[in-house]
Amino acid sequence: MAERIDWLDDGTPYSPRFGERYHSEQGGVAQAREVFLSGCGLPQAWAGAPQWRILETGFGFGLNFLATWAAWRADPDRPTLLHFVSLEAWPVSAADLLRAAERHPELLPLAQELCAQYWGLLPGVHRLWFDGGRVLLTLCIGDAQALLRQQHWEVDAVYLDGFRPQSNPEIWSLHALKAIARCCHRGTRLATWALAGEVHEALAQCGFVVEKRPGMPPQREHLQATFNPAWEPRTSRTAEPGPEHPSPARCVVIGAGLAGAAT
Protein backbone atom coordinates (compact mmCIF):
# COMPACT_ATOMS: atom_id res chain seq x y z
CA MET A 1 0.00 0.00 0.00
CA ALA A 2 1.34 3.42 -0.96
CA GLU A 3 2.27 5.94 1.69
CA ARG A 4 -0.41 8.49 2.54
CA ILE A 5 0.42 12.04 1.45
CA ASP A 6 -1.31 15.29 2.42
CA TRP A 7 -0.92 18.16 -0.04
CA LEU A 8 -0.65 21.58 1.59
CA ASP A 9 -2.16 24.75 0.15
CA ASP A 10 1.20 25.85 -1.26
CA GLY A 11 1.50 22.56 -3.18
CA THR A 12 4.07 21.04 -0.83
CA PRO A 13 3.67 17.34 0.05
CA TYR A 14 3.35 16.59 3.76
CA SER A 15 3.93 13.30 5.59
CA PRO A 16 1.38 12.51 8.34
CA ARG A 17 3.62 9.64 9.45
CA PHE A 18 6.60 11.89 10.21
CA GLY A 19 4.75 15.15 10.78
CA GLU A 20 6.71 17.29 8.33
CA ARG A 21 7.06 18.40 4.72
CA TYR A 22 9.00 16.36 2.21
CA HIS A 23 10.89 19.48 1.15
CA SER A 24 10.92 23.23 1.74
CA GLU A 25 8.63 25.73 0.06
CA GLN A 26 11.51 26.51 -2.31
CA GLY A 27 10.87 23.17 -4.01
CA GLY A 28 12.38 19.70 -4.08
CA VAL A 29 14.13 20.19 -7.41
CA ALA A 30 15.89 23.36 -6.25
CA GLN A 31 17.06 21.42 -3.20
CA ALA A 32 18.19 18.52 -5.39
CA ARG A 33 20.31 20.81 -7.54
CA GLU A 34 21.68 23.15 -4.88
CA VAL A 35 22.25 20.70 -2.04
CA PHE A 36 22.83 17.30 -3.60
CA LEU A 37 24.17 17.68 -7.14
CA SER A 38 26.22 20.77 -6.37
CA GLY A 39 27.23 19.37 -2.99
CA CYS A 40 28.67 16.28 -4.67
CA GLY A 41 30.42 18.31 -7.38
CA LEU A 42 28.05 17.21 -10.14
CA PRO A 43 28.01 17.20 -13.05
CA GLN A 44 31.70 18.18 -13.20
CA ALA A 45 32.87 15.28 -11.01
CA TRP A 46 31.61 12.56 -13.35
CA ALA A 47 33.13 14.03 -16.55
CA GLY A 48 34.77 11.30 -18.59
CA ALA A 49 34.01 8.51 -16.11
CA PRO A 50 32.82 5.20 -17.59
CA GLN A 51 30.14 4.97 -14.89
CA TRP A 52 28.94 6.99 -11.91
CA ARG A 53 27.26 5.46 -8.88
CA ILE A 54 25.11 7.38 -6.41
CA LEU A 55 23.55 6.17 -3.15
CA GLU A 56 20.50 8.02 -1.81
CA THR A 57 18.87 7.48 1.58
CA GLY A 58 15.30 8.46 0.80
CA PHE A 59 13.67 8.21 -2.63
CA GLY A 60 10.54 10.15 -1.68
CA PHE A 61 9.04 11.56 -4.88
CA GLY A 62 12.11 10.73 -6.93
CA LEU A 63 13.03 14.38 -7.46
CA ASN A 64 16.71 13.89 -6.65
CA PHE A 65 16.84 11.02 -9.14
CA LEU A 66 14.97 12.96 -11.82
CA ALA A 67 17.15 16.06 -11.39
CA THR A 68 20.29 13.90 -11.60
CA TRP A 69 19.00 12.04 -14.65
CA ALA A 70 18.21 15.36 -16.36
CA ALA A 71 21.69 16.69 -15.56
CA TRP A 72 23.22 13.50 -16.97
CA ARG A 73 21.20 13.84 -20.17
CA ALA A 74 22.25 17.46 -20.64
CA ASP A 75 25.97 16.83 -20.12
CA PRO A 76 28.06 15.93 -23.21
CA ASP A 77 30.79 14.62 -20.87
CA ARG A 78 28.41 12.33 -18.99
CA PRO A 79 29.47 8.83 -17.93
CA THR A 80 28.38 5.92 -20.09
CA LEU A 81 26.35 4.47 -17.21
CA LEU A 82 24.56 6.34 -14.43
CA HIS A 83 23.66 3.98 -11.58
CA PHE A 84 21.41 5.52 -8.94
CA VAL A 85 20.74 3.40 -5.84
CA SER A 86 17.95 4.68 -3.59
CA LEU A 87 16.54 3.39 -0.31
CA GLU A 88 12.91 3.95 0.65
CA ALA A 89 10.88 2.43 3.48
CA TRP A 90 7.56 4.10 2.63
CA PRO A 91 7.11 4.50 -1.16
CA VAL A 92 4.56 7.00 -2.42
CA SER A 93 2.06 6.21 -5.17
CA ALA A 94 2.79 6.79 -8.85
CA ALA A 95 -0.05 9.34 -8.91
CA ASP A 96 1.56 11.37 -6.12
CA LEU A 97 4.95 11.08 -7.77
CA LEU A 98 3.52 12.56 -10.98
CA ARG A 99 1.71 15.27 -9.05
CA ALA A 100 5.00 16.38 -7.48
CA ALA A 101 6.70 16.42 -10.90
CA GLU A 102 3.97 18.55 -12.47
CA ARG A 103 5.45 21.59 -10.72
CA HIS A 104 8.62 21.04 -12.77
CA PRO A 105 7.65 20.77 -16.46
CA GLU A 106 11.25 20.13 -17.53
CA LEU A 107 11.23 16.90 -15.49
CA LEU A 108 7.70 15.73 -16.28
CA PRO A 109 8.65 13.56 -19.32
CA LEU A 110 11.25 11.77 -17.21
CA ALA A 111 8.75 11.34 -14.38
CA GLN A 112 6.30 9.77 -16.83
CA GLU A 113 8.99 7.31 -17.95
CA LEU A 114 9.69 6.49 -14.32
CA CYS A 115 6.02 5.94 -13.52
CA ALA A 116 5.68 3.53 -16.45
CA GLN A 117 7.90 1.14 -14.45
CA TYR A 118 6.95 2.33 -10.96
CA TRP A 119 4.51 -0.37 -9.89
CA GLY A 120 4.48 -3.57 -7.86
CA LEU A 121 7.09 -2.16 -5.49
CA LEU A 122 7.01 -4.82 -2.81
CA PRO A 123 9.79 -4.92 -0.19
CA GLY A 124 13.05 -5.85 -1.85
CA VAL A 125 15.32 -4.65 -4.64
CA HIS A 126 13.95 -3.44 -7.98
CA ARG A 127 16.08 -2.55 -11.01
CA LEU A 128 14.57 -0.05 -13.46
CA TRP A 129 16.39 0.72 -16.72
CA PHE A 130 16.10 3.91 -18.77
CA ASP A 131 17.70 5.56 -21.80
CA GLY A 132 18.50 2.32 -23.57
CA GLY A 133 20.20 0.77 -20.55
CA ARG A 134 22.47 3.73 -19.82
CA VAL A 135 20.58 4.81 -16.68
CA LEU A 136 19.89 2.26 -13.95
CA LEU A 137 17.73 2.98 -10.92
CA THR A 138 18.13 0.37 -8.20
CA LEU A 139 15.18 1.07 -5.94
CA CYS A 140 15.38 -0.69 -2.58
CA ILE A 141 12.14 -0.89 -0.61
CA GLY A 142 12.43 -1.62 3.09
CA ASP A 143 14.43 -0.78 6.18
CA ALA A 144 17.52 1.19 5.19
CA GLN A 145 19.88 -0.36 7.73
CA ALA A 146 18.85 -3.90 6.78
CA LEU A 147 19.25 -3.14 3.07
CA LEU A 148 22.68 -1.61 3.61
CA ARG A 149 23.79 -4.77 5.43
CA GLN A 150 22.45 -7.10 2.75
CA GLN A 151 23.72 -5.41 -0.42
CA HIS A 152 27.22 -4.94 -1.82
CA TRP A 153 27.70 -1.48 -3.27
CA GLU A 154 30.60 0.86 -3.92
CA VAL A 155 29.51 4.38 -4.79
CA ASP A 156 31.04 7.65 -5.93
CA ALA A 157 28.52 10.01 -4.30
CA VAL A 158 26.01 9.90 -1.45
CA TYR A 159 22.80 11.92 -1.17
CA LEU A 160 22.11 11.76 2.57
CA ASP A 161 18.44 12.68 2.54
CA GLY A 162 15.37 11.98 4.64
CA PHE A 163 13.21 13.47 7.34
CA ARG A 164 14.78 15.31 10.27
CA PRO A 165 16.86 13.29 12.75
CA GLN A 166 14.25 14.04 15.42
CA SER A 167 11.53 12.45 13.25
CA ASN A 168 13.47 9.60 11.67
CA PRO A 169 16.56 8.95 13.83
CA GLU A 170 17.43 5.54 12.38
CA ILE A 171 18.88 6.77 9.08
CA TRP A 172 20.99 9.41 10.83
CA SER A 173 22.36 7.08 13.50
CA LEU A 174 26.04 6.25 13.81
CA HIS A 175 25.22 2.63 12.95
CA ALA A 176 23.53 3.63 9.67
CA LEU A 177 26.26 6.09 8.73
CA LYS A 178 28.90 3.42 9.30
CA ALA A 179 27.00 1.18 6.87
CA ILE A 180 26.95 4.01 4.33
CA ALA A 181 30.68 4.61 4.83
CA ARG A 182 31.33 0.96 3.99
CA CYS A 183 29.83 1.68 0.56
CA CYS A 184 32.34 4.48 -0.09
CA HIS A 185 35.83 4.57 -1.55
CA ARG A 186 38.39 7.21 -0.70
CA GLY A 187 37.19 10.41 -2.37
CA THR A 188 33.47 9.59 -2.37
CA ARG A 189 31.56 12.82 -1.82
CA LEU A 190 28.50 13.20 0.39
CA ALA A 191 25.95 15.99 0.66
CA THR A 192 23.08 16.56 3.05
CA TRP A 193 20.82 19.40 4.09
CA ALA A 194 21.09 18.27 7.74
CA LEU A 195 23.09 20.47 10.10
CA ALA A 196 22.56 18.67 13.40
CA GLY A 197 25.73 18.48 15.44
CA GLU A 198 25.32 14.76 16.03
CA VAL A 199 25.19 14.15 12.25
CA HIS A 200 28.37 16.18 11.73
CA GLU A 201 30.11 14.28 14.54
CA ALA A 202 28.93 10.85 13.35
CA LEU A 203 30.12 11.51 9.79
CA ALA A 204 33.53 12.52 11.11
CA GLN A 205 33.71 9.30 13.18
CA CYS A 206 32.93 7.33 10.02
CA GLY A 207 35.89 8.79 8.12
CA PHE A 208 34.34 11.79 6.37
CA VAL A 209 35.99 15.21 6.26
CA VAL A 210 33.00 17.49 6.81
CA GLU A 211 32.51 21.17 6.01
CA LYS A 212 29.62 23.60 6.15
CA ARG A 213 28.56 25.33 2.95
CA PRO A 214 26.02 28.10 2.25
CA GLY A 215 22.52 26.64 2.17
CA MET A 216 19.26 27.51 0.50
CA PRO A 217 16.35 29.13 2.36
CA PRO A 218 15.13 28.54 4.97
CA GLN A 219 18.50 27.03 5.94
CA ARG A 220 21.60 29.16 5.97
CA GLU A 221 24.00 26.23 5.62
CA HIS A 222 24.22 22.57 4.69
CA LEU A 223 26.91 19.90 4.98
CA GLN A 224 29.30 18.54 2.39
CA ALA A 225 31.79 15.78 3.10
CA THR A 226 34.51 13.72 1.45
CA PHE A 227 35.32 10.18 2.52
CA ASN A 228 39.00 10.27 3.49
CA PRO A 229 39.48 8.11 6.59
CA ALA A 230 42.71 7.87 8.55
CA TRP A 231 42.48 4.08 8.11
CA GLU A 232 42.56 2.06 4.90
CA PRO A 233 38.98 1.54 3.63
CA ARG A 234 37.76 -1.97 2.99
CA THR A 235 38.08 -3.06 -0.62
CA SER A 236 35.80 -6.10 -0.52
CA ARG A 237 32.82 -4.32 -2.05
CA THR A 238 31.95 -5.08 -5.65
CA ALA A 239 32.83 -2.46 -8.24
CA GLU A 240 29.31 -2.38 -9.64
CA PRO A 241 26.63 -1.74 -7.01
CA GLY A 242 23.52 -3.82 -7.19
CA PRO A 243 21.78 -6.87 -5.80
CA GLU A 244 23.39 -10.23 -5.93
CA HIS A 245 21.60 -12.57 -8.30
CA PRO A 246 20.72 -15.90 -6.72
CA SER A 247 21.58 -19.05 -8.63
CA PRO A 248 18.66 -20.73 -10.42
CA ALA A 249 16.93 -23.31 -8.29
CA ARG A 250 14.48 -26.09 -8.94
CA CYS A 251 10.80 -25.52 -8.23
CA VAL A 252 8.30 -28.25 -7.47
CA VAL A 253 4.57 -27.60 -7.99
CA ILE A 254 2.29 -29.94 -6.05
CA GLY A 255 -1.32 -30.19 -7.15
CA ALA A 256 -3.52 -31.32 -10.01
CA GLY A 257 -5.04 -27.95 -10.83
CA LEU A 258 -4.07 -25.49 -13.57
CA ALA A 259 -0.65 -24.81 -12.03
CA GLY A 260 0.17 -28.50 -11.88
CA ALA A 261 -1.09 -29.15 -15.40
CA ALA A 262 1.10 -26.37 -16.79
CA THR A 263 4.38 -27.85 -15.49
Instruction: Report the C-alpha gap between 34 and 39 in whole angstroms.
Output: 7
* pTM, rounded to two decimals: 0.86
SS (H, E, C) 156-224: EEEECCCCCCCCCHHHHCHHHHHHHHCCEEEEEEEEECCCCHHHHHHHHHCCEEEEEEECCCCCCEEEE
Among 19-33, 99-113, 166-180, name the one with the lowest average pLDDT.
Answer: 19-33
Q: Is the confidence at residue 238, as pLDDT, over 90? A: no
Q: Is 258 exposed, middle or buried (0-12, 13-18, 19+ CB in 10 A)?
A: exposed
Q: CB–CB of 250/208 below 8 Å?
A: no
pLDDT in tens, 123-170: 999 999 999 999 999 999 999 889 988 888 999 999 998 777 777 778
pLDDT tier for residue 194 given thresholds of 50, 70 and 90: confident
Averaged pLDDT for residues 85-95 = 95
Q: CB–CB of 2/96 below 8 Å?
A: yes
Q: Is the confidence at residue 256, as pLDDT, over 70? A: no
Return the CATH fold of 27-261.
Rossmann fold (3.40.50)
Among 86-90, 125-129, 134-138, 235-239, name the one with the lowest average pLDDT.
Answer: 235-239
Q: Is 254 exposed, middle or buried (0-12, 13-18, 19+ CB in 10 A)?
A: exposed
Averaged pLDDT for residues 168-194 = 92
